[in-house]
Amino acid sequence: MRILLISYYFPPCGGAAVQRWLKWLPELVKAGFEVTVLTTQDGDYPILDPSLLKEIPPQVKILRTRAPKFSKLWKLLFGKKSELPHGSLGLDEKAGLLKKLLVWTRLNLVIPDARKFWNPAALRSATRFLRENPIDLVITTGPPHSTHLIGLKLKENHRLKWVADWRDPWSSIYYLQLNPPSKFSMDLQRRLERKVAQSVDLNIVVSSHLASQLPSENTAVVYSGFQPFVEETLESRTRSSKFRIKFVGNLTEGQKFEEAVKLIRDALADRDFELSFVGTALSPDQREFLAQNLPGKHKILGFLPHQEALEEIGDSELLLLLINYYEGYQGMLTSKLFEYIGSGNRIFCLGPRGGEAEKLINEYGLRVCFDLDESAEAAKELQSIYDAWKAGDNLKQVLDVSRLSSGCQAAKLIDLLQELKKR
């Protein structure tokens, strides 16, 4: 089967946005798929991780097309150390009028998202490729959801079979829920979402809740999964002199960072622990908050290549997971969660109850989630886990989580694509 995968984010871009398909590409190649990836050349990436380039199978052909870089303009306006917002459109109290205006413009006038300005170049490149190379399927993955509009245009022009992969919701994504644009803008977002979801030959989504919210019944759930080498890092672990709690990845709007820090501080006040943030872009205010509330008991690690971040996940006593407080949290299943579960380590989850993340954590007995109003129960749980570790107990659990592996999820994807080809 010949596939054209269109993705704005792709190595050397790093972070969670690239992990889903990067894990699946080797499995697709093994199954005999011929894959071409159309992506950006030096796009506006949240982080760079050149080490991921080594994980791309050599059989995969990559087409790169230049994309406008708004990060340069952002740094020019707000200083070299300021970062273009990725996955967040919130404003703090210190935000000036210009920044507020730019965010308002993005929310209300740049629809569906700022990456849409890559679409014309991507569409031209895809059209040239299709003239000379017959394919069986076009797959678009978002966010950015503007990428799906490329697939929509290709289907209209070439009558191709098209699959849309939804790594996050579109109109109900958390930053639109927490920073609502105008009614007109939201209606336009919903119309575009509906048109894409109902025009594709198949929607692939990351969670059952997202499938239920999508304006189409033509959906299938495929988890992102975790890579087996996560397990290999566990064999070399040595017992630490400190009880290590780690949060891996970025903080986003709606996650209760300060509340989590205070809860951990109070619950383990007289105990020897360390809270680490691995690859987390903390603001100066957040760093100051940590310095004031956890002096000598916190560590901030900058960006790490993905495999090193996985080793940090494995080499810990407890993993911190924060679920965003917003309507739509029920379907939040991040790549990080699967890597957390794959490590077999205990998970301390703080966020609204009843989501799919909590169900998975409970299914494998890795402890339960706590809401903010359950701080007393959460503190007792933290103390219990710490005391078990102090007594010499092995906190790691041997679990059969093979169904959540990226290989197993890729096999499900392959079956879906092969079935679609037969239609």
Domains 2-225+405-422 and 229-390 equal at CATH topology level? yes
C-alpha dihedral, 26 to 33 to 135 to 150, nearest 10°: -30
| Interatomic CA distance for residues 102 and 110, integer angstroms | 10
| Whether pLDDT at 99 is above 80 | no
Q: Looking up tokens 């998202």, which residue turns up?
A: 113
**pLDDT, position 162:** 97
With a pLDDT cut of 90, the percent of the chain lying above it is 63
DSSP state of 59: T
Instruction: Taking residues 394-403, report their average pLDDT.
Output: 83
**pLDDT, position 366:** 64
This prediction's pTM = 0.90
**pLDDT, position 362:** 86
| Whether pLDDT at 233 is above 60 | no
**pLDDT, position 53:** 96
Report the 3 state secondary structure along 75-97: HHHHCCCCCCCCCCCCCCCCCCH
Range in 15-24, 48-57, 155-164, 322-331 with the lowest mean pLDDT:
322-331
| Whether pLDDT at 187 is above 80 | yes
Q: Of 88 and 258, which is predicted with more confidence?
A: 258
With a pLDDT cut of 70, the percent of the chain lying above it is 90
| Whether pLDDT at 229 is above 50 | no
Instruction: Taking residues 80-105, report their average pLDDT.
Output: 65
Nearest residue to 227 via CA among 55, 46, 39: 55
Q: Of 326 and 168, which is predicted with more confidence?
A: 168
| Whether pLDDT at 234 is above 70 | no
What is the separation, in whole angstroms, between the first and last Cα of the chain? 14
Tell me: the pLDDT tens digits for 247-273? Answer: 999 888 889 999 999 999 999 998 999
Nearest residue to 55 via CA among 25, 32, 20: 25
| Interatomic CA distance for residues 373 and 25, integer angstroms | 43
Element of type H or E holding 319: strand 318-322
DSSP state of 384: H
CATH 3.40.50.2000 fits domain 2-225+405-422: yes
| Whether pLDDT at 38 is above 90 | yes
User: Taking the domains of the chain in order of start, what are their residue ranges?
Assistant: 2-225+405-422, 229-390
Q: Which CATH class is domain 229-390?
A: alpha beta
